[in-house]
Amino acid sequence: MFDLHPRLSADTILLGRFPLSLCLLMNDMHYPWLILVPQRDNLREIFELPTEDQQQLLRESSWVSERLSRHFNATKINIGALGNMVPQLHLHHIARYENDAAWPGPVWGKHPAQPYTLDNLKMMHDRLREAFADATQIGFVWAE
């Protein structure tokens, strides 16, 4: 039985599910920021996943990275598996820009999150719908 860590649940909006991972939008308007959480219990490290799950996580991660890079016209995608504060394995994907709030440093611990307004969340959701237009091809299902 997989349960999303309460801290991840509180900080994000559930977009949907890939075959392995939940796909979450970080509730921080500073950056387009998606988090993948493999739906496996009691995992902290990528190397603890069975090899097939590791490869699936990579497929999902690269797919998300490519979409963020292209559709959000990012200068750089930052990928991170930290987990010092939230032990449940989760993989950050952040579209970075030379004029963003933390550039060129990492985003973590830099600025308090700036939660989406309803209007901005609607716009972000529309952009993600466009970026993920063919996501069913890799088994993505939008959350209800």
Q: Are 26 and 12 spatial neighbours (Cβ–Cβ below 8 Å)?
A: yes
Quick check: 112 binds its own copies (CB under 8 A)? no
Distance CA 57, CA 10 (A): 23
- Contacting its own copies (CB under 8 A), which of 9, 27, 39, 69? 69
Candidate list 101, 106, 124, 142; residue touching its own copies; CB under 8 A: 106
C-beta pairs of 52-55 under 8 Å, 24+ apart in sequence? 53/20
Nearest to 31 by CA among 117, 105, 93: 93
* 77 counts as binding its own copies under rule CB under 8 A: yes
Instruction: State which of residues 19, 105, 115, 139 lies at the interface with its own copies (CB under 8 A).
Output: 105
Whole-number Å distance between alpha carbons of 137 and 49 = 24
Among 34-42, 104-112, 120-128, 133-141, which window interacts with its own copies (CB under 8 A)?
A: 104-112
Four-point Cα dihedral 119, 11, 65, 143, nearest 10: -70
Give how many residues touch its own copies by CB under 8 A: 32
Residues in the chain: 144
Which positions from 2 through 41 interact with its own copies, judged by CB under 8 A? none
The site for its own copies (CB under 8 A) is made up of 44-47, 54-55, 58, 61-63, 65-66, 69, 75-85, 87, 96, 103-106, 108-109
